[in-house]
Each structure stands twice: as C-alpha cells, then as structure tokens.
Amino acid sequence: DLIEQSKRLAAFQSVTAHLVPFPSRTRIGIGSGSTVIYVVEAITTLVPPTTLSTMTFYPTGAQSEQLIESAGLNLQYINKLPPGTLLDVCFDGADEVDPNLNLIKGGGACLWQEKIVATSSKKFVCVADFRKMSPALGTMWKKGIPIEVLPLAANRVLGELERMGSLGPKVRPGLPGKAGAVVTDNGMWIVDAPFRPLRVEGTSDKEKGEWQVDELADALIKIPGVAEIGLFYGKNGNQAGEGGAQKPVEAY
C-alpha cells in the first residue's frame, strides 16, 4: 500500500545516499520501529557482501537487535565503543518531524537507547514517510511526547507535567494480554505527555501552555524521575555528537 511503499522508498533513498557511497562508514546505528525494517532490507540489498562483512551494526533495543541478527549482520553494542569514539552513521525513524528537523520519537517505546545511539553518531539519518512531516510538533502526533520514567516516580512526573501545561499526560498502558504499563527494554515506563503544538522559533508562552521546542526539552529532562525524553533536536540541535552539535538530521 502507499504508506508501506513510501516507507520503503525513503529507506532505500537514505541508504543509497548515506551508506552505499561511503564504504568507510563501518559503524552503523540501527533504530527501532517499522520503517527501519526497510532500512535493514535496503542495506542487505544495496551494500555488496564484501563491504557488508566489514560493517558492524549497533542496536537501539530488543527489536533492533533482533532485526540486525535475523538479517545476518555483524552485531555489536554501543558500550563496546571506546569512550570518545562515535558511530559513523545512524538510521532511525520518527513519529513527527518539524521544519527544523526536530523530532518526536518514542512511539515504539525505544527512545532512551535511540537517543544514546543517535547522539553517539557522526550523522543521524531520520527516515520518515510523508505522514510524519509537520509544521509544528504536536499538530500531527497527538498521543503526546513519549517520556521514559522510573516507575516509582511516575505519579510525581505526571503531576509536574500537568503543572507545565500538559493536556492529560498518562502512563502508556500495556497491550491487551499485558496487565499494567508498557515496560521498556530498560525496565522503565513510558509517560505520553500531550502539549499544544510546539513553537519552532521564538519563545514559550507558559501561561498559555504554548512551549518552544528547545525550552520544553530543557524543562522536561530536568524533572526528577525522567530518564530521557522523546524530543530529538534537528539542524541546530545542541545534543552531543561530533563536536558537540549533532550533525544536521537528514529527513526523508
């Protein structure tokens, strides 16, 4: 169908642009979700086997790890990288992308390891089909910003989010057949925190609960009990990565 075709096209375009021409990019981060499945298909299809055997793939959680293994690719873990060494490139999906390539991520509850791997990469390639492009984060993805929290602190975090103007934040319930909350690969819970659409530029109007994306990110990460947040900075992001500022996110 059209959506699957556009995911697959985006994935093949991103691998064609950022991996195939660069056989020296041998350390590759692999994200989570359904689009990244096509990224792995593109890698195994487009990269010659001799080059593929020189490449090592770093997962962002259980699904990503299984994807790498079942594709027969060399699997390694980010903690095996010497301090200060970065991955060459990382491919991952997103739930929503704003004009500055800021992202909402975490729809698949893998955001903590995704952000560690993304910010440990010289280049972070976001692979997102047409549905994900948005004028402002929160206009398309209505479920809220995914936030990974310590279960013990969940109610404290919910209270703080409401004070900050979140509209009905809640702990993400497990799927049918799993009583209780979603438990992440790291043994944590996910809180989804809806906010009014985030301002790409300018400053927040906290009275109205209208936040600017960077200011909200800075406020959320400080809440005690929050492990990581599903807001990823785009072009002018100030996350770690080579030289402190993350390389521009290339969204497809």
| Binding range to ligand DER, per CB under 6 A, among 41-49, 100-108, 155-163, 238-246 | 100-108
92 in contact with ligand DER (CB under 6 A): yes
Q: Are 123 and 247 in contact (CB under 8 A)?
A: yes
For ligand DER, which residue of 29, 59, 93, 144 counts as binding (CB under 6 A)? 93
Quote the CA–CA distance of 240 and 198 in Å, as a whole number.
22
For ligand DER, which residue of 35, 113, 120, 134 counts as binding (CB under 6 A)? 35
Least Å from the CB of residue 42 to ligand DER: 14
Q: Taking Cα atoms as reference points, which of 23, 22, 15 lies closest to residue 52? A: 23
Choosing from 114, 148, 160, 210, the catalytic residue is 114
Q: Nearer to ligand DER by C-beta: 67 or 165?
A: 67
CA atoms within 13 A on the CB side of 177: 1
Q: Are 189 and 152 in contact (CB under 8 A)?
A: no
96 in contact with ligand DER (CB under 6 A): no
Q: Taking Cα atoms as reference points, which of 133, 82, 137 lies closest to residue 104? A: 137
Least Å from the CB of residue 183 to ligand DER: 15
Q: Which residue is nearest to ligand DER (CB)?
A: 33
Say what the alpha-carbon torsion angle 183, 103, 77, 247 is, to the nearest 10 degrees. -160
Does 114 qualify as catalytic in the annotation? yes
Least Å from the CB of residue 3 to ligand DER: 9
Type and span of the H or E element at 159: helix 154-163
CA angle centred on 57, ends 127 and 67, rounded to 5°: 70
Least Å from the CB of residue 165 to ligand DER: 23
Write out the residues near ligand DER by the rule CB under 6 A: 31-35, 92-95, 105-108, 110-111, 114
Active centre residues (catalytic): 114
